[in-house]
Structure 1
Amino acid sequence: MFKPTRCGWLVAAACALPVHAAMNIQPDPQNPGGYVIPQADVQAVEQQKTANPMYGIWAKALETRANAVVDAIEPGLASNPDNVKRAERVFPASEWEFLTQMAAPEYTYVRFLRAVGKFPAFCGDYSDGRNADAICKKSIVTMFAHFAQETGGHIAKENVSDNPLGLEEWQQALVHVREMGWSEGQTGYTTGCGQNDWQNKKWPCASGQGYFGRGAKQLSYHFNYGAFSEAMYDGDASVLLNNPGLVADSWLNLASAIWFFLTPQAPKPSMLHVIDRTWKPSQRELDAGIGYGFGTTINIINGGIECGAQNKDKGQPVNRIRYWEGLAAHYGIPLLADEKNTCWQQTPYGSLNLNGASDVLYTNWDGNWKYYADRPGGYSFECELVGYQTAYSALVKGDYEKCVTNFYGSHAGWPKVRLVDKLDPPTTEPSQPPVGGVPLWEASKVYVGGDKASYQGAVYQAKWWTQGDEPTKGGPWALVPQ
């Protein structure tokens, strides 16, 4: 499943340019040494940084329905969401039974439809003429090819003792609901639990719980359970961190796979956007052999182990390709001229050199450490997009503001930041007239080296950038002899 990486998001759209937006930053009257910023200014910076249309596309693909709606889904109901009706039409219960004759009983057609229903983008509509039914069918078949590898029986058709029905290996998906060798009550896969890092603060492990592989895509590790729980339960990571067994014993066993299918992972696109061609490979990717086709979905899932010329004859990718080709032949899915089912000719995404790439977008926020000469203390008072996993996602509403307010004040020497709806009017010293025509000092005004201001009957000159520092206290101010 997902692993934290330090890399970029490749798309063909132009990269968002660095933004140095104007912000009204004032000393915080409630917190000495801190600052207040209008919330609208912070939101404007976020909007500029995420102006590329791909951010909206990514976020839209990850939208979910309420669980109350999902729990009401049953095969054939007129009230089922439209994308569920499409899945029923292109992949009816008879096809589910055809591909799951060896499957564990926890995987059912009802749970499959509910998993589909949770995500409107899966088997969703297109307004630009793309064939939504064909994309839906291809998406489901792609997932089953990977299910057959990840959780399949892998029993030869000729092995009549273990495979009395003579099933093709691509008909043997979803045999395992839990990782082989693991059962509920065991506390494995707790690597990293309890460490004093942001992952444990955001997704703390629960005592006595194990985060081994569960479900159709074998969700593993606490940070994946926490992130998936947030997607399923309105931002509440604790539900699945405290009860990870739900990923095996409910419709989450299939929803976890669809979530993975829809989620882009830096620098990889989502599998959906490879199949429906919303994603356009960049020149850097094309040069690395990465384009359309089933092979790129292998690179997304496990490219470091299964892609590249050195892995051409390796069992895992050979199996996946064989399963895909068998399924595609059975369901009449053609191989298009610009598609490849293999990834041996591709550079694994983890080895792709993105240094200097001009077509990289990022989807996580981290503090902006750059120096800004026109802002208090030279601090940016911003977060920036980075290509590695952090606590704050550019695809989650409100995370940018959390990054700004949480990041500042949590680092030694950095000021605290508070967002406000509206700033108080700037204060001046009206009781003291200007001296020699020099304007009165204003607490909210930014001064740079050489600027002068009148204050309490004297003139002061700024030695360097300053805002909110009273001239009589020295520091950045020097008294000008009269």
Structure 2
Amino acid sequence: MFKFRHLAILLSCALATNSFAMNIQPDPNNPSGYVIPRADIEAAERAKTADPMYDTWAKALETLPNQQVEAILPGLASNPSNVIRAERVFPETEWIYLTQMAASEYTYTRFLRAIGKFPAFCGEYTDGRDSDAICKRSIVTSFAHFAQETGGHIAIDNTWDNPKGLEEWQQALVHVREMGWSEGQPGYTTGCGQNDWQNKRWPCAEGQGYFGRGAKQLSYHFNYGAFSEVMFDGDATVLLNNPGLVADSWLNLASATWFFLTPQSPKPAMLHVIDRTWKPSQRETEAGIGYGFGTTINIINGGIECGEQNKDKGQPVNRIRYWEGLSDYYQISIQPDEKNTCWQQKPYGSLNLNGATDVLYTNWEGDWTYHADRPGGVSFECKLVGYQTAYSALVKGDYEKCVTNFYESHANWPNVRVVEQLGPVDPPIVPEPPVGGNYPAWNINTEYTGGEKVTYNGASYEAKWWSQGNDPSKGDPWKLISDTPVNPVPPVEPEPPFNPEPPVEPLPPTGATQWIAGQRNVNNGDKVTNIGKCFIAKNNPGVWDTPTSTNWFWDEVSCK
């Protein structure tokens, strides 16, 4: 647990590696906390997400209010512009052509609403790119994956099960729920109920099942919760409490559209592969990852379907067949630098991105970099990482939540509160030096963390970082915070008692001599005196075998 020394002054801390300052002040409402102005938090976030791609990603995830979405119907002039484009390049007749086996829960109206929720899907490009062509390619790519994820997979010559003789790429959206599962069955609850940040942000509901639902088979509570936040203004509980909506409403297709638009760092969003907003990094290029349908397979399921070992595997072979059938039917042009396959690609999950400088990450994590000029050496910042955390760089307000440890995902993080404006700064308070130190005594066997205080030889010390067995008076990892070290005072020898006359040494008993160690040998039977007692030698004692009691060399006897 961090224990910080409170400084009653304003700390202006500027990192040499950043272009922003952090003003950190003790929290007047919490003796163990700190306050930071919101302007500083926002400046830090802007500095870390300055690459224009972050704005592009965030823009792609902007949504229309559900009330407007649910007013969308085929053919309405009031429909959003991206919906009108989708209707133009993919009219209802084409929907019917590709969904003759589809479950009744999938309808063209719901398809248009799923598109309308996300204005970037089939959106307008103002930089010369062909908006209609990108829209058509996006829809056809989606259907190729629908045909694999929820399709019928019935051969064209199987007239019993496929009396219409439909191509397999015409058999999309047959399943609305994962096969073998039905509403009311709890399942896919791995991780539910644990005391971790995922359950704090996306708590599982009692008795609910988070098995696959919808066109992309959304699964597991953390995906239901994240999708719910997008669909219901940040409220994760709507779909966690009622996951069946992903099967029985227009969310069954909206969940697939959301997946299509969402990057999963370091994976790009599928849209940005198709519209070429994404530029492959050097590591991706070296791994064979570039433009084309094959990269969308890698994004969806690369660990199982991509790489040389999966060249002939059923799932990727099916997807490629469906894409090639659809792209041929809809006359989608394939560029020379595109590949439909991903067997020549390294799966994203096995890419080594250590040291890569041209890969952008999309999640925030507490930054544990040591800052000597900030309280307790803590950064009070978050950094971008390439794995899922409680906080997304694409969600407004998540950086602030990361800094304040909103979901308690950073162990031992300081208590931080963000304020609009810092209050007046009190003058420094010089504490009275404690007498002999007012903190626990330092113990050589105790582990100390940065910020903990101890007393040693009458002085008070504060640990700069983790320490065990380091003498505080020797400096690092300790610093003196009050008093001058007090060295132990040697004990004072008592003065001898006053005797007006010198003591009279008694004469040794008759027949006994005074023992003087190291000066003479004695023979067995010799009688000596020592410490006021008499002893008879035995077993040939040496000159250093001083008699003090009966033992191997001496027997104590009467001095008479």
| Short-chain TM bin | 0.7 to 0.9
| Number of residues of Structure 1 aligned to a counterpart in Structure 2 | 431
What residue is the counterpart of 1:451 in the other structure?
Answer: none
SS of the residue 2:405 aligns to: helix
What residue is the counterpart of 1:219 in the other structure?
Answer: 218
Matching residue within 470, 478, 481 for 1:477 = 481
What residue is the counterpart of 2:185 in the other structure?
Answer: 186
C-alpha displacement of 1:428: 2.3
C-alpha displacement of 1:391: 1.1
Could you tell me whether the CA contact under 8 Å between 1:86 and 1:123 is conserved in 2?
yes
What residue is the counterpart of 2:316 in the other structure?
Answer: 317
What residue is the counterpart of 2:78 in the other structure?
Answer: 79
| Letter of the structure 1 residue corresponding to residue 117 of structure 2 | K
SS of the residue 1:328 aligns to: helix
The separation in 1 between residues aligned to 2:423 and 2:405, in whole angstroms, is: 23
C-alpha displacement of 1:33: 2.5
Could you tell me whether the CA contact under 8 Å between 2:197 and 2:409 is conserved in 1?
no
Name the one with the larger helix percent. Answer: 1
C-alpha displacement of 1:41: 1.0
The separation in 2 between residues aligned to 1:64 and 1:256, in whole angstroms, is: 13
Change (3 A) 1:408 1:193: closer
SS of the residue 2:36 aligns to: strand
| Letter of the structure 2 residue corresponding to residue 142 of structure 1 | T
C-alpha displacement of 1:285: 0.8
C-alpha displacement of 1:408: 10
SS of the residue 1:24 aligns to: strand
What residue is the counterpart of 2:167 in the other structure?
Answer: 168
What residue is the counterpart of 1:149 in the other structure?
Answer: 148
Alignment of 1:103-122 (within 5 A): 103-122=102-121
Which segments of 5 or more consecutive residues in structure 1 lack a partner in the other structure? Answer: 1-16, 432-461, 466-473
Could you tell me whether the CA contact under 8 Å between 2:169 and 2:325 is conserved in 1?
yes
Change (3 A) 1:153 1:98: same
Is 1:252 aligned to residue 256 of structure 2? no
Q: Which has the larger radius of gyration?
A: 2
C-alpha displacement of 1:153: 0.6
| Letter of the structure 2 residue corresponding to residue 185 of structure 1 | G
| Letter of the structure 1 residue corresponding to residue 57 of structure 2 | W
Alignment of 1:285-364 (within 5 A): 285-364=284-363
C-alpha displacement of 1:355: 1.5
Per-residue displacement from partner, 1:375-418 (whole Å, max 9, x unpaired)?
01111111111111111111111111111112698866543112
C-alpha displacement of 1:429: 6.7
Query: What TM-score results when the alignment is normalised by the length of structure 2?
Result: 0.74
SS of the residue 1:406 aligns to: coil
Per-residue displacement from partner, 1:222-266 (whole Å, max 9, x unpaired)?
100000000000000011001000000000000000000000012
| Letter of the structure 2 residue corresponding to residue 381 of structure 1 | F
What residue is the counterpart of 2:231 in the other structure?
Answer: 232
Could you tell me whether the CA contact under 8 Å between 1:371 and 1:379 is conserved in 2?
yes
| Letter of the structure 2 residue corresponding to residue 129 of structure 1 | G
Change (3 A) 1:18 1:350: farther
Identity percentage of aligned residues: 78
What residue is the counterpart of 1:393 in the other structure?
Answer: 392
SS of the residue 1:64 aligns to: coil
C-alpha displacement of 1:476: 4.5
Which segments of 5 or more consecutive residues in structure 2 lack a partner in the other structure? Answer: 1-15, 431-460, 465-477, 486-560
The separation in 2 between residues aligned to 1:263 and 1:430, in whole angstroms, is: 51
What residue is the counterpart of 1:416 in the other structure?
Answer: 415
Change (3 A) 1:476 1:39: farther
The separation in 1 between residues aligned to 2:151 and 2:162, in whole angstroms, is: 13
Change (3 A) 1:347 1:409: closer
SS of the residue 2:205 aligns to: coil
SS of the residue 1:23 aligns to: strand
What residue is the counterpart of 2:135 in the other structure?
Answer: 136
Per-residue displacement from partner, 1:137-194 (whole Å, max 9, x unpaired)?
0000000000011111111111111111111010000000011111111111111111
Change (3 A) 1:381 1:423: same
SS of the residue 2:21 aligns to: coil
Change (3 A) 1:412 1:342: closer
Could you tell me whether the CA contact under 8 Å between 2:181 and 2:211 is conserved in 1?
yes
Change (3 A) 1:189 1:411: closer
Could you tell me whether the CA contact under 8 Å between 1:184 and 1:245 is conserved in 2?
yes
The separation in 2 between residues aligned to 1:430 and 1:203, in whole angstroms, is: 44
Per-residue displacement from partner, 1:118-143 (whole Å, max 9, x unpaired)?
00000000110100000000000000
C-alpha displacement of 1:426: 2.1
C-alpha displacement of 1:27: 1.5
Change (3 A) 1:123 1:411: closer
What residue is the counterpart of 1:273 in the other structure?
Answer: 272
| Letter of the structure 2 residue corresponding to residue 172 of structure 1 | Q
C-alpha displacement of 1:18: 5.7
Q: Between 159-168 and 402-411, report the one with greater CA deviation.
A: 402-411
C-alpha displacement of 1:311: 0.7
What residue is the counterpart of 2:97 in the other structure?
Answer: 98
Could you tell me whether the CA contact under 8 Å between 1:409 and 1:415 is conserved in 2?
no
Per-residue displacement from partner, 1:19-41 (whole Å, max 9, x unpaired)?
37321111122211221111111
SS of the residue 1:170 aligns to: helix
Is 1:403 aligned to residue 402 of structure 2? yes
| Letter of the structure 1 residue corresponding to residue 374 of structure 2 | R
Per-residue displacement from partner, 1:276-320 (whole Å, max 9, x unpaired)?
000011111111111000000000011111111111111111110
Is 1:370 aligned to residue 369 of structure 2? yes
C-alpha displacement of 1:358: 1.5
Is 1:208 aligned to residue 207 of structure 2? yes
The separation in 1 between residues aligned to 2:30 and 2:292, in whole angstroms, is: 56
The separation in 1 between residues aligned to 2:413 and 2:154, in whole angstroms, is: 60
C-alpha displacement of 1:480: 8.4
